[in-house]
Chains A and B, each alone.
Chain A
Amino acid sequence: EAQVTQNPRYLITVTGKKLTVTCSQNMNHEYMSWYRQDPGLGLRQIYYSMNVEVTDKGDVPEGYKVSRKEKRNFPLILESPSPNQTSLYFCASSPNRGQGTYEQYFGPGTRLTVT
């Protein structure tokens, strides 16, 4: 089944404790992206990756890191989480834009609470 998976689905952590949220897709998509969703703000793009070893900032990259060492994986790293990073996080993937397809496939979300 074609899908985007995220782990963990739920995470409660404390301020300053490094964490990683994994994202994996099995559709051989070039493009992957991370979003955070906050009430009243919709989804805001954190980082995106156009292919392996190619990443760039979205609109709200502060406090986050990403890497793309393999095509299927795009982990989101919070080196020193703070309470303002409490949010619902979504990973998405999409085929090569040059093929004229821009539909994003979303993962189920990761609810992160930082105390």
Chain B
Amino acid sequence: AQSVTQPDIHITVSEGASLELRCNYSYGATPYLFWYVQSPGQGLQLLLKYFSGDTLVQGIKGFEAEFKRSQSSFNLRKPSVHWSDAAEYFCAVGRAGNFNKFYFGSGTKLNVKP
């Protein structure tokens, strides 16, 4: 069965500090990987996605993520966090060849200290 694990429920970082949010997936086929952000009271917005090619992908708002097949991971990073980054972040997996079903992690809530 497919699954997505985000091991950190809450993370607090200071403004200006670096950030890494972890995502591990369990998937038998080649995965399509996504990171979404949800600001309070809002819908989800796509930060970045990985389908193939370069395993380091750049997204919006200064975020990047690295796909590591050997570790089944797709961690999200940002070198310097801004207060406006406080939100909940979701990792999601879709299956190459079956474009209809998506699996989301349980989310990581990011708090940014001034």
Is B100 a contact of A56 with CB atoms below 8 Å?
yes
Q: Determine if B11 is an interface residue (Cβ-Cβ < 8 Å).
A: no
Is A42 a contact of B104 with CB atoms below 8 Å?
yes
Closest chain A CB from B102 CB (angstroms): 6
**Interface Cβ pair total, 8 Å cutoff:** 58
Bound state CA distance, A104 and B101, in angstroms?
11
* Count of chain B residues with a beta carbon within 8 Å of a chain A beta carbon: 25
Contact for B51 among A42, A59, A102, CB less than 8 A: A102
Closest chain A CB from B35 CB (angstroms): 12
A38-57 vs B, Cβ < 8 Å mask (1 yes, 0 no): 00111111001010000010
Given contacts A102-B51, A107-B43, A109-B43, contact A48 B107 (CB under 8 A): no
Contact for B104 among A43, A56, A107, CB less than 8 A: A43
Q: Which A residues touch B92, using CB under 8 A?
A: 43
Q: Is the interface of B mostly helix, strand, loop or mixed?
A: strand
A-contacting residues, B68-94, CB 8 Å = 90, 92, 94
Q: Which B residues touch A103, using CB under 8 A?
A: 34, 46, 49
Is A48 a contact of B101 with CB atoms below 8 Å?
yes
Contact for B43 among A45, A50, A108, CB less than 8 A: A108
Q: Determine if B56 is an interface residue (Cβ-Cβ < 8 Å).
A: no
A111 — nearest CB in chain B belongs to which residue? B41
Q: Determine if A25 is an interface residue (Cβ-Cβ < 8 Å).
A: no
Q: Determine if A33 is an interface residue (Cβ-Cβ < 8 Å).
A: yes
Is A102 a contact of B49 with CB atoms below 8 Å?
yes
Residue in A4, A48, A106 with the greatest tally of chain B CB atoms within 10 Å: A106
B92 — nearest CB in chain A belongs to which residue? A43
